[in-house]
Amino acid sequence: MGMWSIGAGALGAAALALVLANTDIFLSKPLQATLEYLEEIDLKTLEKEPRTFKAKELWEKNGAVIMAVRRPGCFLCREEAADLSSLKPKLDELGVPLYAVVKEQIRTEVKDFQPYFKGEIFLDEKKKFYGPQRRKMMFMGFVRLGVWNNFFRARNGGFSGNLEGEGFILGGVFVVGSGKQGILLEHREKEFGDKVNPVSVLEAARKIKPQTSASEKK
């Protein structure tokens, strides 16, 4: 009876752990970014002679849609990149650019990501776009049913990837208005493969009011 009791207790504890892992109780809550925080982020171009600039250059005139990529080689990230890229024709009509930031540049990872993403990509070495409070999902992610659903969805969509690079710091998507218009949409990945809704991105992009230069006002 003693061994049976221990075994039953262990199974009960495992079942409880599995249930709790599939709730949002233990997920770290994202701290919302402010426009002032995003504006001062240093980004680098990916050229042979990189240029460092403030992130506000990306949206100052026409706003922007920006993907903070968790890991370029991740097939779930590639799926989301392809979804956002499908909006590019409509974003072009609105005059709103599409960008991505990555937190590291390893071998050909960014180059291999580019077929899935139809915008410019920049390096965020200090991982500021993943803040103000960086959130990680570790191995708990692999017992979440939502993550497995996301895995199967992306695989069935024909996406594949690799295990290169850091992939635990969660990413997100921002739609930022021009000038001081502010952050119109902020989607924070809560688990691996938690994609932004493309319809929401487009709705937010339509709210962007491009800056008018002095010469155009005359």
Kind of pairing between the strands at 172-176 and 64-68 = antiparallel
Residues tagged active-site: 74, 77
The answer to whether 92 touches 147, Cβ cutoff 8 Å, is no
The burial class, CB within 10 Å (0-12 / 13-18 / 19+), for 14 is exposed
Residue 97, sorted as left (phi over 0), alpha (psi -120 to 50) or beta, turns out to be beta
Give the number of other CB atoms < 10 A from CB of residue 189.
Answer: 23
Handedness of CA 89, 90, 94, 96 (dihedral sign): negative
CATH of domain 32-207: 3.40.30.10
- Whole-structure pTM value: 0.85
Specify whether the CB–CB gap between 150 and 2 falls below 8 A: no
Token pair 């061994």 is found at 3
From first to last of the 218 residues of the chain, give the pLDDT tens digit: 455 454 444 444 444 344 444 555 555 677 899 999 999 999 999 988 999 999 999 999 999 999 999 999 999 999 999 999 999 999 999 999 999 999 999 999 999 999 999 999 999 999 999 989 888 887 676 778 888 899 999 999 999 999 999 999 999 999 999 999 999 999 999 889 999 999 999 999 999 999 876 445 44
Question: Omega of the bond prior to 132 within 30 degrees of 0, cis?
Answer: yes
